[in-house]
């Protein structure tokens, strides 16, 4: 009985980590491929300058770099908080 619930707890833990990891990977992929596809398909839009010297392409490129930081940051916050708490609980349950 207890082994069963312990196994289930690990399964839930593993599932939650893969779910978050997959969602964030997809988010990164979408942001990056979106940027690349805009570069490939809509060069005039990317070259449009919002203010003299600052094109939409530059803004979006910098935003993708910031998104990489932000998504990694979100993962760290989640993992250091919720995930590590669940892991700690699981370890304590021997």
Partner 1 sequence: MNPTTTGTQLGQPNTTAIVFFLLFVGITLAITYWAARKTKTTSEFFAAGGGVSAVQNGFALAGDFMSAASFLGIAGLVAMSGFDGLIYSVGWLVGWPVVTFLIAEPLRNLGKYTFADVVAYRLKQTPVRLSAALGTLAVVSFYLIAQMVGAGNLIHLLFGLSYEMAVIIVGAVMILYVLFGGMIATTWVQIVKAVLLLAGATALAVAVLYKFGFNPVNLFNEAATQYGAETLAPGKLVASPLEAISLGLALMFGTAGLPHILMRFYTVPDAKAARSSVFYATGLIGYFYLVTFILGFGASVLVGRTAITGVDKGGNMAAPMLAEVVGGTGFLGFISAVAFATILAVVAGLTLSGAAALSHDLWSTVVRKGKAPEHEQLKVARLASLLLGVLAVVLGVIFKGQNVAFMVGLAFAIAASGNFPALLLSMSWKKFTTNGAVASMLVGTFSAVVLIFLSPTVQVDLLKNTEAFFPLKNPGVITIPLSFVVGVVVSLLFPEREASERFDEVRHRMHVGAPTEGLPAPEVPASTAVATPPAVVHPSKA
What distance in Å separates the CA atoms of residue 42 and residue 35, rounded to the nearest whole number? 10
CA angle 8, 79, 72 (to 5 degrees): 135
Q: How many residues bind partner 1 (CB under 8 A)?
A: 55
Nearer to partner 1, 43 or 82 (CB): 43
Contact map string, positions 49 to 88, toward partner 1, x by CB under 8 A: x-xxxxx-xx--xx-xxx-xx-xxx-xx--xx---x--xx
- Work out the widest C-alpha separation in the chain, in whole angstroms: 69
Joined tokens for residue 30: 């979408």
Strand partners, 20: none
What distance in Å separates the CA atoms of residue 10 and residue 5, rounded to the nearest whole number? 9
Give the binding site for partner 1 (CB under 8 A): 7, 10-11, 13-14, 17-18, 20-22, 24-25, 28-29, 31-33, 35-37, 39-41, 43-44, 46-47, 49, 51-55, 57-58, 61-62, 64-66, 68-69, 71-73, 75-76, 79-80, 84, 87-88, 90-92
């Amino acid at each position: 009985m207890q082994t069963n619930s312990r196994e289930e707890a690990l399964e839930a833990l593993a599932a939650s980590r893969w779910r978050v990891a997959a969602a964030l990977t997809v988010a990164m992929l979408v942001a990056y491929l979106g940027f690349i596809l805009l570069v490939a398909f809509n060069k005039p839009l990317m070259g449009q300058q919002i203010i003299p010297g600052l094109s939409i392409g530059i803004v979006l490129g910098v935003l993708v770099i910031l998104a990489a930081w932000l998504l990694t940051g979100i993962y760290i916050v989640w993992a250091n908080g919720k995930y590590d708490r669940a892991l700690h609980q699981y370890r304590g349950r021997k």
